[in-house]
Amino acid sequence: MADSTTISCVKHIETYVDSSSSRSPSQQDASLDALAKLLLNDIITLELLVREMEMYLTTTDNIIRARGILLLAELLTRCSSKRVEDKTVHSLVGFFADRLADWRALRGALVGCLALMRRKTDIGAISSSDANAVAQSFMQNLQVQSLGQHDRKLCFEILECLMDSYPDTVMSMEDEFVYVICEAIDGEKDPQCLLLTFRLVERLAQLYPESSSSLASYAEDLFNILGSYFPIHFTHPKGEDDAKREELSRALMLAFASTPLFEPFAIPLLLEKLSSSLPSAKIESLKYLTYCMDKYHGNVIQEQHKPLWSSLKDIVLTSAPSSLTAGSRYEDNKVADEALVLVQKLIQQDNDSVSFLKLILNDADVNMTLKNLSNYNNYDDIAVTDKQRLNAVSRILHVSAAASVASCNAIFQSVFSELVNGLQSTMQEKDYTPGGLKFGYLYVCVDLLTACSTLVKPTDKTYLDKETWCTMLHSFCPLLTSSFVKTMKESTLDIYTHTGVRGLQILASFPANFSPVSKSTFEEILVEFTSVITLKFNNASIWRFVLNALVEIGSLIKKSDDSEKMASFDVIVVEKMLPLLSSDDLSMPFSLKVGAVSKIGMTNLKYMRKIVQELNTAISTNLQKYWLDGNSNSAEHAMLLLECYVDEVLPWFQNVKDNDNVPMHFALKIWNEIEDNTMFFDSLNDKKLLETTMNGMKRAVASCSEDSQSTILDKAFSILSSSTSFQVDESMQPAEYSCREEWIISLFDSVIIALRPKTQVKNTEEILQIITRALSNAHIPSAHALGSLFNKIPNDSLEEAMDITFNKYIVRFANGNGDNEIGVSNLRLSNVNDGLVTSDAIVVGLAWVGKGLLMRGHEKVKDVIKFFLNFLISNRSTSSGSVSSSEDCDDLTRAVADSFSIIMSDSEACLNRNLHATVKPLYKQRLFNMVMPILLAAIVKSDSPIPYKSMMHRAIAHVISNTPLSAIIGEAKKLIPLMVDGLTILSEDGKNRDIVYNLLLVLSGILTDKNGQEVIVENTYTVIMCLNKLVFYQHMMLVRETAIQCLTAMTELPYASVYRFRPEVLQTLSRALDDPKRSVRQEAVRCRQAWASISSRSLHI
């Protein structure tokens, strides 16, 4: 046994060590795995193995020795979690450390050292003296930079491992070790190795204390090596380098900041790179400086303040954007942004000495710009360079003030009073004109105020009041407010008014107990804003800006839960805005009113509740007016209100808990209105309002809970049944509805459509009767309602409902015999009796019922589908029979064919997830599988005239174009000939253009799929002939375009299957080049190029 193991073991060793070409790398790997398995399972011991391998480890043949050592090393790597005797580890590490001198077999030695050094102490690790031996051998024998890339990487890993796991050993070596690292990393170029070297330096700096003489003496050398990599930049970029660059740059930054000893070298280098012309280098240096500030000692940095400031100033002055728009201005300018971040950091860091801030405040450029503010008279007259300078200075002041309370104090002391006075004086000058306001003052003031607002936090407030800036702001507050208000109201330039509004908004956003801005100021601002909203609606830009400001103030109050301010906001803004909805004042556009009110409402639930009440009232008054006299103005208002309700209010309430009342009250309110208004104006022909109201009703009911839905349903049903014309009588003649009845039945349908599946529906029978009756009136919403009902009612009452509907009503209308099997002939007979409208409507109703059943996955859907299919297929046999005229029959047949479109396509109006439809997954595929075999067989057998065939194709096209492509591709083999036939037949009639287009899209989908292409290859001839015809389809441009695109896609097929069609296709395309539509022509050029080049060797260059 033992012998056989040894033999196999030796065999494996031989396989691995053998370097001749007879062994493939995979074989060698397999033998390595096998040996590792033997070791791990204790079948052989490490000692035994080493003895077996002795010859390979010591032979004088360099290649075999190298392989042998590598094998041992790899095995150790794989057994890294297996316990090994300390003694064995010791002798092994001695061996490997020794082997480091053997440059011909170095790889194995490196791997082995690394594997042993990484072992944990509890499973046998090397001692610190062993580590020392490895380090010594490493230092004596290795010239890292002369090795290959992978070996270098291993070397760095060994160094890293030494520092991580044996810090004491490393510490004891001091100078020597630092020197070795310097030597090893000097001149490294490979990105992966570089990442390791940067980490090495960082780790080294962490390991040695700052005072350590060895690190100090080598700091300059180390930094010189590191510094040459900055900024990280690839000269030969390859696709994915960006992430790698980021990673390297980050590692280098950490290395730079690893010890303050680098500071004297790093800062000058970074400053120098700041003046580089490369923007990326600038950004990098700024980032590094910002990061290093934290790590280096502050007092050392202070000496560098002057050069830092002057370069930062240059950067900001030259790279600040020159457009001075209020609001979000800090964008797209990374260099300036990073520079400003650094400025702020520097100020924050020397908060005690304020030396950096003094530099800014005493700077000649800054002061000059501030002095010049009085020269900028009119915004348009300011030169672009001056604008840039103004923006830069303003931004510098902004970040400086926002840095800390102390810096804010200093800035306010030195510049603020001057600014406000400047602003004030321009307001009072005799020749004051709104356009002539000195923009600079306004601009810088607002910027400083923004900075202040970042300093104030709602949680800690009182102690701030004694600060200088607060007292100053307090004294200037009235002045500022009046200036801003004046600017907002009187200026004609957007930029002025926006800046003014922004200033006011900031003043109003301070927390209530922040005393510098008094409550009266806050209220004054709100009053001004509200007056702009109600009066200045002609100026759209300022109106929207003020509204946004109000909304922001409102939501800030809500967020900080500021009861004092909330009360003011309540009285001044909300109370003023609410009456807008019901006021008769027509000067302000109603859409603006609705928009303003709903936006304000969204800031706070409290306001929203009020607004909802107001909205409800406004909707019902407008509806009433419309019902009474068909007032088109009221109709328009009601529509705007309803749209706002559906689009804004209801979605907003969906995120609020306990919201059920709102939609329910809305729905009930509308029903109440209908109940109260029995008199309707006769000719209300505005269908749009009815549709909007229905949509509103659907959304509202859909967002109610089951209980509320029952309440609404009860209410609706009571109103419905109180109206006499809905009472079901035996005659079952189609009823004529008055306007009011039309509203009632439509809204009732909306309620039914939006019900949840679990909502209890009482009076199912009556409801079904009423709806089916309405259906016979060709009332489409009733068809939707019927479908929804069948989709949602519980299983046990479904059977009964089916019976009621089919047997008693639909079939009765169809003059049938009460059998559940709905006979085609019966339906046909009824055509003659009742007129065709009824039958068409019933087909549509049936289609929706079918859709409802199909979506819930009910068996009965088969009956409905069977009915449709029988009708379509049997047409040919009876076509000569009882039909009165073929045209009439065509209409009905078309309705039946189109019912497949209803069944398969998604609808916005009903039976979707928002309206709580029961949806079983893959229902479309199921229908596809159910219908296709029958239709396929029928159409193959069919020898009926083209009109009937075309109807079958119509149905097939509907099914195919709505089925997911993956299902189609699975059946593509059978479908392609059918689709091509369908395209040919359907394209003869221009009315079918949408169907043709949808079908063509499916074909193009198949063409771009790999499996689909294989099927197309078998039908190349027919497909190309069909497409060639469609290229000239005159009824729809999209069809022509898609047909040409399909032809282009055909060139991807195997050469042998398409080349013979080349002349034909090229001829077609040369005619298509003359198409009336430009996009078709362009498509044709592309396609022609593709086809022309398939057989020409010279065209693929």
Partner 1 sequence: MTLGLINANPIVREKKERITRPDHVHLHSNDHEALDPLDIYDIVRDIRDPEHPYSLEQLSVLSEDSITVDEKLARILITFTPTIQHCSMATVIGLCLRIKLKDCFPPHFKVDIKVAPGSHADEEAVNKQLNDKERIVAAMENPNLRQLVDECLYSSEL
> What residues make contact with partner 1 under the rule CB under 8 A?
993, 1034, 1036-1038, 1070-1071, 1073-1074, 1076-1079, 1081, 1085, 1088-1089, 1092-1093, 1098-1101
- Whole-angstrom distance, CA of residue 1043 vs CA of residue 370: 67
Shortest separation between residue 1061's beta carbon and partner 1, angstroms: 18
Using the minimum distance from each CB to partner 1, give the nearer residue, 605 or 1085. 1085
Shortest separation between residue 1092's beta carbon and partner 1, angstroms: 7
Is residue 151 within 8 A of residue 107, CB to CB? The reply is yes
Question: What sign results for the dihedral spanned by CA atoms 488, 491, 493, 496?
Answer: negative
Alpha helices, DSSP H only, in 257-304? 263-274, 279-295, 298-302
- Whole-angstrom distance, CA of residue 987 vs CA of residue 994: 10
Shortest separation between residue 1073's beta carbon and partner 1, angstroms: 5
Shortest separation between residue 993's beta carbon and partner 1, angstroms: 8
Using the minimum distance from each CB to partner 1, give the nearer residue, 372 or 1093. 1093
Beta carbons within 10 angstroms of residue 1083's beta carbon: 23
Using the minimum distance from each CB to partner 1, give the nearer residue, 1 or 1101. 1101
Nearest to 754 by CA among 795, 712, 798: 712
Shortest separation between residue 654's beta carbon and partner 1, angstroms: 34
Those residues with Cβ within 8 angstroms of residue 486's Cβ, 6 or more apart along the chain or in another chain: 427, 500
| Strand runs labelled E in 212-363 | none
Using the minimum distance from each CB to partner 1, give the nearer residue, 368 or 1099. 1099
Shortest separation between residue 1000's beta carbon and partner 1, angstroms: 15
Shortest separation between residue 998's beta carbon and partner 1, angstroms: 15
- Whole-angstrom distance, CA of residue 825 vs CA of residue 828: 5
Alpha helices, DSSP H only, in 404-466? 405-411, 417-428, 439-455
- Preceding amide of 237 cis, omega within 30: no
- Whole-angstrom distance, CA of residue 179 vs CA of residue 181: 5
Shortest separation between residue 585's beta carbon and partner 1, angstroms: 37
Is residue 739 within 8 A of residue 682, CB to CB? The reply is yes
Using the minimum distance from each CB to partner 1, give the nearer residue, 171 or 1085. 1085
Shortest separation between residue 996's beta carbon and partner 1, angstroms: 13
- Whole-angstrom distance, CA of residue 1071 vs CA of residue 703: 56
Shortest separation between residue 588's beta carbon and partner 1, angstroms: 32
Those residues with Cβ within 8 angstroms of residue 906's Cβ, 6 or more apart along the chain or in another chain: 912
Using the minimum distance from each CB to partner 1, give the nearer residue, 254 or 1037. 1037
Distance between the two ends of the chain, CA-based, in angstroms?
A: 67
3-state secondary structure of 333: coil
Kindly tell me the burial class for residue 235, based on how many C-beta atoms sit within 10 Å of its own C-beta (0-12, 13-18, 19 or more): exposed
Using the minimum distance from each CB to partner 1, give the nearer residue, 54 or 988. 988
Using the minimum distance from each CB to partner 1, give the nearer residue, 206 or 1070. 1070
Is residue 717 within 8 A of residue 763, CB to CB? The reply is yes
Using the minimum distance from each CB to partner 1, give the nearer residue, 991 or 1010. 991
DSSP state of 989: S
Using the minimum distance from each CB to partner 1, give the nearer residue, 10 or 1099. 1099
Per-residue burial over 545-571, b if 16 or more Cβ lie within 10 Å, else e, is bbbebbbebbebbbebebeebbebbee
Look-up: residue for tokens 């169809």? 814
- Whole-angstrom distance, CA of residue 842 vs CA of residue 853: 16
- Whole-angstrom distance, CA of residue 16 vs CA of residue 1016: 52
Using the minimum distance from each CB to partner 1, give the nearer residue, 912 or 998. 998
Shortest separation between residue 986's beta carbon and partner 1, angstroms: 17
Kindly tell me the burial class for residue 34, based on how many C-beta atoms sit within 10 Å of its own C-beta (0-12, 13-18, 19 or more): middle
- Whole-angstrom distance, CA of residue 1084 vs CA of residue 1069: 6
SS3 letters across 319-336: HCCCCCCCCCCCCCCHHH
- Whole-angstrom distance, CA of residue 494 vs CA of residue 488: 9
Using the minimum distance from each CB to partner 1, give the nearer residue, 233 or 1081. 1081
Nearest to 292 by CA among 319, 311, 264, 320: 264
Using the minimum distance from each CB to partner 1, give the nearer residue, 145 or 1093. 1093
Shortest separation between residue 1044's beta carbon and partner 1, angstroms: 14
- Whole-angstrom distance, CA of residue 861 vs CA of residue 849: 8
Using the minimum distance from each CB to partner 1, give the nearer residue, 475 or 1070. 1070
Shortest separation between residue 1048's beta carbon and partner 1, angstroms: 15
Amino acid 206 reads Q
Shortest separation between residue 1038's beta carbon and partner 1, angstroms: 6
Cα–chain center distance at 349 = 39
Using the minimum distance from each CB to partner 1, give the nearer residue, 278 or 1073. 1073
Query: Which two tokens mark 91?
Result: 């002798």
Shortest separation between residue 1079's beta carbon and partner 1, angstroms: 7
Helices vs. strands in the chain: H and E counts, helices first: 58, 0
Using the minimum distance from each CB to partner 1, give the nearer residue, 328 or 1098. 1098
Using the minimum distance from each CB to partner 1, give the nearer residue, 698 or 993. 993
Beta carbons within 10 angstroms of residue 651's beta carbon: 11
Question: What sign results for the dihedral spanned by CA atoms 816, 818, 822, 823?
Answer: negative
Shortest separation between residue 997's beta carbon and partner 1, angstroms: 10
Using the minimum distance from each CB to partner 1, give the nearer residue, 120 or 1071. 1071
- Whole-angstrom distance, CA of residue 1002 vs CA of residue 979: 9
Shortest separation between residue 1100's beta carbon and partner 1, angstroms: 8
Is residue 872 within 8 A of residue 896, CB to CB? The reply is yes
Shortest separation between residue 1041's beta carbon and partner 1, angstroms: 10
